[in-house]
Amino acid sequence: MSGPLDGTLVLDLSRVLAGPWASQTLADLGARVIKVERPGKGDDTRSWGPPYLGSGENRESAYFLSANRGKESIAIDFKDPRGRDVILKLAARADILIENYKPGGLSACGLDYASVSKVNPAIVYCSISGFGQTGPYAKKPGYDFMIQAMSGLMSVTGTEKPTKVGVAVSDLVTGLYAATGILAALTKARETGQGEWVDVSLLDAQLAALANQGMNYLVTGTSPGLAGNAHPNIVPYQVFESRDDPFVVAVGNDRQFITLCRAIGRDDLASDKRFASNAGRVENRQVLVPALAEVFRQHPATHWLDVFDSHGIPAAPVNTIAGAFSDPHVRERQTVMTSEREGLGSVPGVRSPVRFRNNVPDEVNAPPALGDSTRTVLREISLTGEEIETLLDEAVAAGPG
């Protein structure tokens, strides 16, 4: 694949979501990503279904497909010394290594940063974990749901009870922070020849991603609490009910508020001193929001969305996922793509949101079958045919054919 990271080799020892999301991001940017998986089983998410695409031996979970496009797979048991040596030979050639084992978990295999940096001092080695490489929780396992709860995210999500976000947002944010840190370290490594150990934790990442809600607490000393579909700092910026379907209004400044009031025939609200500024609207939301809600219930959502669109007022329908993917704008942007995989057929996917004008990546490869590149990659590190077959016969490696 071409792209800004063309010529960059990533060795991906991670599994599930945060690590694979980071490596998939790098693959989208043009890097070659070799995913290292357990022989016979592979990444845990290969079995996280239904739903599955395909059937029988060729089936693949939708979960796995979501986080592993553009990669090659090798199946290597690196707990076996021979498998470890294979990984070290690959690491000696790699620019980046990503892993998400518990801190210290790869030391016994001789694949920790200290060991890998001896064979490749310039490597950027990224460790993703639940709680980081230090601290009292460092050895604890960490999963997205746990982190959403521990970080306080759930305490500001929902209406009556704390609620998790509908996707594993802590994993995804961590993967994106990891990719950013990796690229920064890679820039430095290419300038100086000195690699880096990048330590990214789910808890740190999610705390950082609390953004204004985290700062609301730090400034006031009071936890924000549940806000449902309303914004803690902006009014009106929430879901409203129409005669039929709900919709979102996202008024971000005083000018937009005045325009909104005129568009719905409530100039009196715009001229009310209590609502003249956002601070006033936040302070008096218990008066303003019911007044707006009463107006919005008089007509269906399509009526209001047309009104808002004609007046340049930020608003949106509350789509299902099917509705989102069938939106004409999304279709025009070709956000949904397909790729082909032997034995699985046409694989749908979501195109990277990062688009380049002067550096367009090639067609994206489908997420790999388990061990589909084992033989190819082993030949690249100069193993003989006999050595490869021995590793395969003794289950140190696995691959088709």
Residue positions annotated with a catalytic role: 171
Q: What is d(CA 324, CA 331) in angstroms, rounded to the nearest whole number?
A: 10
Q: How many CA atoms lie within 13 A of 381 on its CB side?
A: 19
- 116 class by beta-carbon count within 10 Å (0-12 exposed, 13-18 middle, 19+ buried): buried
Tokens of 306: 């047309």
Residue 249 forms beta bridges with which residues?
238, 315
> Cα 96 to the chain's mean position, in Å?
19
Where does 24-122 show beta strands of DSSP type E? Answer: 32-37, 52-53, 60-61, 71-76, 96-99
Residue 6 forms beta bridges with which residues?
none
Collapsed DSSP state (helix, strand, coil) of residue 33? strand
Residue 37 forms beta bridges with which residues?
75
Tokens of 177: 């922070």
Q: What is d(CA 347, CA 316) in angstroms, rounded to the nearest whole number?
A: 30
